[in-house]
Structure 1
Amino acid sequence: MKELTTDHISQQFNNELEALRQHFLTMGGVVESQVQDAVQALLDSNGSLAEDVKDQDTTVNQLDGLIDEECRRILAKRQPAASDLRMILSISKAVSELERIGDEAKKIANLTLNLVSEGESPRGYVEINRIGQMVSKMVHDALDAYARLDIELAVKVAKQDRTVDQEYNTAMRSLVTYMMEDPRSISRVINVIWVLRSLERIGDHARHTCQHLIFMIKGVDVRHVSLNDLTADYKPK
């Protein structure tokens, strides 16, 4: 695995940085499971699995608080510089993206419970399955990029968000047309639209996570760089 951090005179400092990294990846694993389970619960009309997704939110929030405290403690105690500082800043921002992904998965779980109670599978499940698979892979690959410090993978994931947006817009046009043709479907399809919106936001947060990783490795803020201009060799103009 590629290394970004350097060895320090204090082994304790090394241990603190590694613990921070491991806690971030652990939180990422929980969030990744939430997204996958939330989509599966909806497709299977599985209310029990949806409840499990909601319950995982407690674990995500606990890890969010733990990582935030670790970042603040290291900054105050060690006063890191260079790559160490970028690592801490990057993780402190990326962990917020993970927490928001978890929130969106919880929203999908709540919407699933609403749809299950209605007892009918509405239009839009094909789109949910397709976009759900896309954003689940984006989350997985974003975390893999962090684990391996793989900037090429991070750039690839960031660019995939454009495809998710295109699929989302196509699905929205189709569902709006369907509601206009069958007004009786509106209440059910509205829930599906909110699910798709949450999935689209998960894609956004996965992209932002990768942008924070690029900052960690390159030391360049690419949050406002066009995806067309973003490359693994990106340098400020």
Structure 2
Amino acid sequence: MPNSKIGGHYSQAYDAELQQAVDRLMQMAALTQQQLSDALAAFASGDVALAQQVKDFDRKVNSFEVDIDEHCLDILARRQPAASDLRLVLSVLKSVNDIERVGDLAKRIAKALLKGAEYGRPSQAQLDALSVMAQKVQQMLQRALEAFKQIDAQAALHVLREDKAIDDDYAQIIAHSLSSMKHDAQQIGVSLQVSNVAKALERVGDHSRNICQHAIFLARGRNVAHLSDAEVTEVVEKKP
């Protein structure tokens, strides 16, 4: 369904081009979300075949990135957008990079299983900790994408605040992994696998945060990338 906040020009074709940029971004995002979900399922179950599929699927995500970049550059060249239209195109170009990186991180999780099979499997406690963190990360990513799609600065602000819980989960997993390696040398390989997956999830959270910042830039016209959370809140809640 077209977003009523996008377009509004006399040229319906121009409106359609802008909407298509967002639609393609969301299609790419859906692919990377599935890629991430499959990578996590593969690691949790030890499914090497599924992990290999995740790794091979990366080409399709990269193809989407090229297609969206070309579409946005075409808009810039032909339409010479200004104001909110320009912000939309720039925000899509920035977000597509973050979404592509999520795909890369999904591939990293898959490779952690493919390259670490010789070390054995993580304990159930380790898998459970990763599962809790993964659920939070996937929810954060979904909410960030929805905030961007709806150009909803308030929703983006709420999602930004979820990053702290993910960072806390990451710190706990790393601390447990270091303790395991310290007390049992045989756990080094497995603990490094777990740490690598946790780091990938933490980075997905960071990219979700970036997408929220792009949504706020799109909605408020202010780059908030280097502002504190308090300053971002002030930007979002400031009366027009």
User: TM over 0.5, yes or no?
Assistant: yes
Q: Secondary structure at the match of 1:20?
A: helix
Work out which of the residue numbers 126, 129, 149 in structure 1 matches 2:128.
126
Correspondence list, 1:1-237, <5 A? 3-122=4-123, 124-231=126-233, 233-235=236-238
The one-letter code matched in structure 1 to 2:61 is V
The one-letter code matched in structure 2 to 1:225 is L
TM-score, normalised relative to structure 1: 0.93
Contact 2:119 2:189 in 1 (8 A): no
The alpha-carbon deviation at position 34 of structure 1 amounts to 1.2
Structure 1 gaps of 5+ residues are none
Deviations 1:6-32 (A, max 9, x none): 322222211211111110000010111
Q: Secondary structure at the match of 1:124?
A: helix
The alpha-carbon deviation at position 117 of structure 1 amounts to 4.8
The alpha-carbon deviation at position 225 of structure 1 amounts to 1.6
Q: Secondary structure at the match of 1:6?
A: coil
The alpha-carbon deviation at position 199 of structure 1 amounts to 0.6
Contact 1:4 1:217 in 2 (8 A): no
Deviations 1:47-105 (A, max 9, x none): 12212212221111011001111111101110011111110011100110000111000
**Identity of matched residues, %:** 35
Contact 1:220 1:235 in 2 (8 A): no
How many pairs were matched up?
Answer: 236
Deviations 1:187-206 (A, max 9, x none): 22111111111110010000
The alpha-carbon deviation at position 118 of structure 1 amounts to 4.0
TM-score, normalised relative to structure 2: 0.92
Mark the CA change 1:63 to 1:97 in structure 2 (over 3 Å): closer, same or farther: same
Structure 2 gaps of 5+ residues are none
Deviations 1:120-171 (A, max 9, x none): 3346222211111111111111111122222222111111111111111121
In the alignment, the residues of structure 1 paired with residue 231 and residue 181 of structure 2 have an alpha-carbon distance, to the nearest angstrom, of 38
Instruction: Between 209-218 and 224-233, report the one with greater CA deviation.
Output: 224-233
List structure 1 runs of 4+ shifted beyond 6 angstroms: none
Contact 2:122 2:194 in 1 (8 A): no
Contact 1:157 1:210 in 2 (8 A): yes
Q: Secondary structure at the match of 1:196?
A: helix
Contact 1:4 1:83 in 2 (8 A): no
